[in-house]
Structure 1
Amino acid sequence: MTYEIEIGRGKRGRRAYSLDDIAIVPSRRTRDPKDVSVKWQIDAYQFEMPVIGAPMDSVMSPETAIALGKLGGLGVLDLEGLWTRYEDPQSVLDEIAALEGSVVNPETTLRLQQLYSPPIQPELITQRLAEIRAAGVSVAGSLTPGRTQEFYKTVVAAGVDIFVIRGTTVSAEHVSKNTESLNLKQFIYELDVPVIVGGAAGYTPALHLMRTGAAGVLVGFGGGASTTTRRALGIRSPMASAISDVAAARRDYMDESGGRYVHVIADGGMGSSGDIVKAIAMGADAVMLGAALSRAAEAPGQGWHWGAEAHHQELPRGHRVNMGTVGTLAEVLHGPAHQADGTSNLIGALRRSMATTGYSDLKEFQRVEVLVSP
């Protein structure tokens, strides 16, 4: 059976589905939401909810990473962002929030590039991670593949619990004639901490990442609220199909490796509670949230949201977008909600969806029936 359709006489392509294209289906059984467990564990680290704060300066600061950890999630600090370039980045964050102009204003992009031009200071990496550790929550930091060789020893020495290597797309086999490539398999083997890598959006690249020894694989690129990767690079993989493909790679890798389980983490394009529900239904173990958490009153972006793509020095492919503020971080995650659009009480909505369809934990919920409902 083939799922490819003819685009033209010389090219065929597979039909893929976004999270907006699917819906979950209630079963014959329902449960009390209080009886539903949304706990998630990766390696030796257990969390009360399957939520990871995206390593974006508009979302995660040391303070918000700590707050998210105390609420039951995992905050990941961008170790190439403002917090490792400035001793006190608050004035820079204030300036970004106050920038004038529309989303597509070139002057805003230029100013972002200028503000992110100071060098990364290794001592600030150590200091920021120490702040999070002192609060007694799990410590996670993120580097891009291009910076990992340069700073990973500093990160590990600082006592990071979970190391994230995150980029637009990360492969197990990067080929370059100009620079020495990061050997992911060797790198992960030599580390004593679990590593989450990504993004990947297909079966084969995800399977190769799993074979490197990664504890988790990030799924998705080009679908976040602040990115223009599809417009700039022509790259996009609709999330529902991408998560399902990577979940299939996880299943086959378990057979291949004799039972080693690699976590699938949906990353991008989940701005509402319904998106989170459907991501897990498609096979994700956890979700990495950016836009959804940028709406919290404590978010460093002050209602504005941007990612590393927005200040890329050579090829920016993202914007600063106004997400607004809907409540405190606790209200965004656990309620009570005062909006009816799925932007608050994200975990309460996940619990209710699982209860409505009769499932008691996340792993069971991955078996829920779905249908295509554009």
Structure 2
Amino acid sequence: MHIPFALTYDDVLIVPRRSTFSSRSEALTRTRFTKQLDINIPIVAANMDSVTGSDMAIALARLGAVGILHRFNTIEENVEEVKRVKRAQNFIIEDPYTIEQDKTAAAAKEYVADIGITGLLVVSPDKKLLGILSRRDFLYAPNGDTRVSQIMTPREKLIVGNRKTTFEDARAIFAQHKIEKLPLVDEDNTIIGLITSDDMKLSIDFPDANLDHDGQLIVGACVGVHGDFIERAKAVVSAGADVLVIDIAHGHSDLMINAIAELKQSVPGTPLIAGNIATAQAAKDLCEAGVDALKVGVGPGSICITRLVTGCGMPQLTAVSEVAKVAKQYGVPVIADGGIKTSGDIVKAIGAGADTVMIGSMFAGTKESPGVVMTKGDKKYKISRGSASFTQVQKRQQKGQEQKDLSKVVPEGVESIVPYKGVVADIVYQLIGGLKSGMSYTNSHTIAELQENVTFVRITNAGSRESGVHDVNPIT
């Protein structure tokens, strides 16, 4: 029996090359995410319920990355998460939140708290602008039964724009009148949009943000291959999802290929990412099924135990390399999903042929990840769990997404606690700084050049030990 040799990230190093760089800042990290979409940094947040909700997706899109919203919610909850990301940043909000003037101040206050904004446009039943209700107006409400019409800033006192208002026009109006919101109305005083000073500031503060053609943040959503997946796909795409990830543990299957065909009919034009896979044949089959990106990795994640439970998998460097060779022939981008522990692993994954990397547990302990911060002793933690963990299966059953008898479930993931790490931006900056340094060591000015310029060497256990901190007592 012939048993091939396979490697993972820790088994290799990249050979340095002569560099023409003056500074690592010369490295350009824009890359392909799907056939149709490019993103500004090659990082994707995993579709795990302890990693990517709307807060994570918003934060990463502003930094130039992208988040894939998990599917372990009701369809309605998934739709609201997509909408929240899409409303987080716009030049023009085309469908702003509104309220009618006969509502109470208490109802208005509850509404803005639920949707996470600071003010509302007050409208008539036929969407004519009557006023603005701001957080300042709530302070002057004598009681909760006060009507919105009694505390709002009325139409005659408002500064408004129209459909011809440009970014620079709006900027000048905000500066001159010291306002926070600029409603846009047509010649009949019907609301056609809203520009906010916060959105303008975000556009300036986050120049690398990944935006769609409407100036909204890019976000992905996730579906399975059973049950309500078509209904869920239609709903999240209608809400604004830019890409769909079809996510099952073993993506090289008839279930996946059939799901791709159904989704291409149900949500035509929406980019489809399929996974997870680990072989060249899987890549060929899914590319020919019409996918727009491939997600690679069977068992490399820190909380995944697929390899232990099933005995199946592939060391991640070899898996990425084998899939990328085939995907390149079809022009399909590759996402290396799992096994990323350091920025050096990102450089190795891209050097092996990946276009982006998907990160889970590294982001699970951040401020933006779903869940609450817990204290154990004098340290803070958050929960991280695999999508195939027992807890996750139980959660899906409670939401009607899983029909299995729980006594017969064989988990392929675990649940754990991870140290609280603060804001995700700090981690991303370190990862991208390391990536750019790796690009300078290989004289790669772009991601495409990095994919071509890397030469790997295998290392021994001694070489691996030499690569890390050794023979000292580190302070931290």
- Smaller-chain TM-score bracket: 0.7 to 0.9
1:360 lines up with 2:351 in the alignment: no
Alignment of 1:113-128 (within 5 A): 121-128=74-81
2:66 paired with 1:74? yes
Structure 1 residues 220-256: Cα deviation after superposition (integer angstroms, max 9, x where no partner):
12111111111111122100100010011123x33xx
1:282 & 1:325 partners in 2: Cα distance? 31
- Which has the larger displacement, 219-228 or 294-303? 294-303
Could you tell me which of 33, 42, 51 is aligned with 1:50?
Answer: 42
- 2:386 aligned with 1:307: yes
Question: Structure 1: which 5+ residue stretches go unaligned?
Answer: 1-10, 85-120, 176-180, 255-260, 335-344
Check if 1:263 corresponds to 2:337: no
Q: Note if 1:278 corresponds to 2:332.
A: no
Match of 2:431? 346
One-letter code aligned to 2:428: L
- What does 1:86-101 correspond to in 2, within 5 Å? none
Give the 3-state SS of the residue equivalent to 1:13 in structure 2.
coil
The answer to whether the Cα contact below 8 Å between 1:219 and 1:243 also exists between their aligned partners in 2 is yes
Q: Which moved more, 1:141-150 or 1:218-227?
A: 141-150
CA distance in 1, matches of 2:344, 2:276: 22
Deviates more, 1:67-76 or 1:184-193: 184-193
Could you tell me whether the CA contact under 8 Å between 2:35 and 2:332 is conserved in 1? no
The question of whether the paired residues in 2 share the 8 Å contact of 1:172 and 1:185 is answered with: no
- CA distance in 1 between counterparts of 2:14 and 2:264 reads 36
Which moves more between the two structures, 277-286 or 132-141? 132-141
Deviation string 1:145-200 (CA, Å, 9 cap, x unpaired) is 2242352222222221101111111125349xxxxx83423532552211111011
Which residue number in structure 2 is paired with residue 188 of structure 1?
Answer: 264
Residue aligning to 1:24: 14
Indicate if the aligned counterparts of 1:188 and 1:212 stay in contact, CA closer than 8 A: no
One-letter amino acid matched to 2:79: T
Asked if the contact 1:298/1:328 (under 8 Å) is kept, the reply is yes
**CA, structure 1 residues 297+64, in 2 after alignment: closer, same or farther (shift >3 Å)?**
same
Deviations for 1:9-63, whole angstroms, at most 9, x for unmatched residues? xx33211111111111101224221100011233443322011110111111111
Aligned partner of 1:138 in structure 2 is: 218
Distance 1:17 1:125 in 2: 37
Q: 1:333 aligns with which of 428, 435, 439?
A: 428
Is 2:145 aligned against 1:154?
A: no
Stretch of structure 1 that moved more, 147-156 or 364-373: 147-156
Amino acid at match of 2:14: I
1:208 to 279, 285, 309: 285
SS in 2 for 1:141: strand
Deviation of 1:144 (Å)? 1.9
> In the alignment, which residue of structure 1 is the partner of 2:25?
34
Look up the match of 2:251.
Answer: 170
Contact 1:229/1:235, CA 8 A, preserved across alignment:
yes
Determine if contact 2:225/2:255 at 8 Å carries over to the other structure.
Answer: no
Partner of 2:364: 294
- The runs of at least 4 consecutive aligned structure 1 residues that moved more than 4 Å come to none
5 Å-filtered alignment, 1:312-327, equals 312=393, 313=406, 314-327=409-422
186 and 297 in structure 1: CA distance in 2 versus 1, 3 angstrom threshold: closer
The farther-off stretch of 147-156 and 43-52 is 147-156
Is this contact kept in 1: 2:276–2:298, CA < 8 A?
Answer: yes
CA contact (8 A) 2:320 2:353 kept: yes
TM-score of the pair, normalised by structure 1: 0.77
C-alpha contact (below 8 Å) 1:185/1:211 kept by paired residues: no
| Whole-angstrom CA distance in 2 between matches of 1:263 and 1:366 | 12
CA–CA distance in 1 between the matches of 2:421 and 2:340?
16
Check conservation: 2:46, 2:52, Cα contact below 8 A.
Answer: yes
- Assess if the C-alpha contact under 8 Å between 1:272 and 1:292 holds in 2: no
Q: Residue 211 of structure 1: SS of its match in structure 2?
A: helix
Q: Is the alpha carbon distance of 1:77 and 1:268 closer, same or farther for their aligned partners in structure 2, counting shifts above 3 Å?
A: same
TM-score with structure 2 setting the length:
0.61
Matched length: 303
* Deviation string, structure 1 residues 261-283 (Cα, Å, up to 9, x no partner): 10011001112212111111100
Identity of aligned residues (%): 30
RMSD: 1.9
Give the distance between the partners of 2:384 and 2:259, measured in 1 at CA.
32
Give the 3-state SS of the residue equivalent to 2:246 in structure 1: strand
Cα displacement (A) at 1:361: 0.6
Task: Report the 3-state secondary structure (helix = DSSP H, G, I; strand = E; otherwise coil) of the residue aligned with 1:132.
Answer: helix
SS at match of 1:138: coil
The answer as to whether partners of 2:35 and 2:293 remain within 8 angstroms in 1 is: no
How far off is 1:70 after superposition?
0.8
**Residues 23 and 189 (structure 1 numbering): CA distance in 2 closer, same or farther, change over 3 Å?**
farther
Superposition deviation, residue 333 in structure 1: 0.4
Residue identity in the other structure for 2:335: I
Question: Aligned AA for 2:354?
Answer: A
Instruction: Give the conservation status (yes or no) of the 8 Å contact 2:6–2:318.
Output: yes
Cα shift at 1:129: 1.1
The secondary structure found in structure 1 opposite 2:226 is: helix
The aligned counterpart of 1:115 is none
State how far apart, in whole Å, the 2-side matches of 1:189 and 1:201 are.
Answer: 26
Alignment partners' CA distance in 2, 1:184 and 1:140: 16
